[in-house]
Amino acid sequence: MEKAKISAIQLFTLMFMFDLGSSLVVSYGVTAKKDAWLAILLGMCGGIVLFFIYYFLFRQYPNLPLTGYARKIFGKYLGWIVGLLYTAYFLYNGSRNVRDFGDLLLTSTMPKTPLLAINILFVLAICYVLYLGIEVLGRTAEVFIVILILFGLTGNFLVLVSGGVDIHNLQPFLENGWKPILTTAFPLLTVFPFGDMLVFTMLLPYLNRPELVKKVWLSSVILSGLTLSYTISLNIAVLSVEEVERSTFPLLSTIGKVNLFEFIQRLDAIVVFTFLITMFFKTSIYLYSAVIGIVDLFKLKNHQQIVLPIGVIFLFLSMIIASDFAEHIEEGLVTIQYPIQLPFLIIIPLLMLIVTMIRNGFKKKGRSKSNVT
């Protein structure tokens, strides 16, 4: 692995922007209708439960990435296969994020630009930063989190003072009961984006103060969950739940309602730049994790030699992953939930947890017997 370290602040900024990702601009959680904000908070609680599974495994193997301790837990050969599957999973998820980014730019600002051209520039920028190393990515995140906060405060202020917020659009509370809230929160909102933070198990060995992992991870999950819950509430309050359901990117429609003095309007660029920042770091983390996985599994000397080839794979997958954006969204929300997301984010980590606990139990028994003799 790369000989580098990142600070707790840098890890927090990476986690926070990773969680926001595409969730910030799409109609996230709207299957729960007006109670989408509550479904997101419940999904956040599910994400916290998943964190404790990932955290337990990290505590057992603090100096190894996920692909490393998979071999320790499942054995040399089965663990290697599991590590390779996780690397492929990071490749797949990262390529979906590249496609998300390209489609939003096509929809919002560059309708006549080829999707391939947008994706090439996006992937090249990511490859350049990752070639320089994880420390550079961490320092870049520290700068861009400030810009992200400024964009967020400006956009929210303008939406609120423009007078388009109608709190009655969020009423009545629990209009359709608890069923749509619970079915939306579990498993969909639990695994996306909170369960997706499993990818950070590839980066935790780089943290210069491992004892801060719990505090950093939990604070990023809670803050991003509250941010997403507030954002969907604002979208529904401005647009109504029916329009949010119809809209591909409701946050764009919400900011598009701003019109102050017939002068301050057409502020789509705020949302586009926000999306650019969050997706850049989310995709970078997926690409870097895939690179580290390959370096670890195939015992390569350094990560730099394969950053660009992995970037090319990202680019290729992003173009063939779906024929259009509607199919892409359908695949992400329905098709891959149970056959891909649940095994990689919940079932396999749980198996790792159980196997590790059983082994720890046998070790304790062995020690106690040796002490007695």
Q: How many domains does the chain have?
A: 1
Residue 221: inside a domain: yes
What is the chain's alpha carbon radius of gyration, rounded to the nearest angstrom? 21
Residue 372 lies in a domain: no
Q: Determine the Cα–Cα distance for residues 21 and 332; give it in Å rounded to an integer.
A: 14
Residue 125, amino acid: A
In a domain, 133, yes or no: yes
pLDDT of residue 364: 77
| Residue 119, domain CATH | 1.10.4160.10
What pLDDT is recorded for position 62? 93
Question: Can you give the residue range of the structural domain that contains 71?
Answer: 8-354
Q: Is residue 294 part of a domain?
A: yes
Q: Would 158 be classed as within a structural domain? A: yes
CA count, 13 A, side-chain hemisphere, 279: 28
Residue 359 lies in a domain: no
pLDDT at residue 201 in the model: 96
pLDDT attached to residue 369: 67
pLDDT single digits (tens) 98-138 = 998 998 888 878 889 999 999 999 999 999 999 999 999 99
Low-confidence ranges of the chain (pLDDT < 70): 1, 333, 368-373
Q: Residue 69: its pLDDT value, please?
A: 94
Nearest to 35 by CA among 173, 188, 222, 192: 173
Q: Is residue 367 part of a domain?
A: no
User: Cβ distance 138 to 10 under 8 Å?
Assistant: yes
The verdict on residue 366 lying in a domain is no
Let me know the angle formed at the C-alpha of 10 by 6 and 11, rounded to the nearest 5 degrees.
80
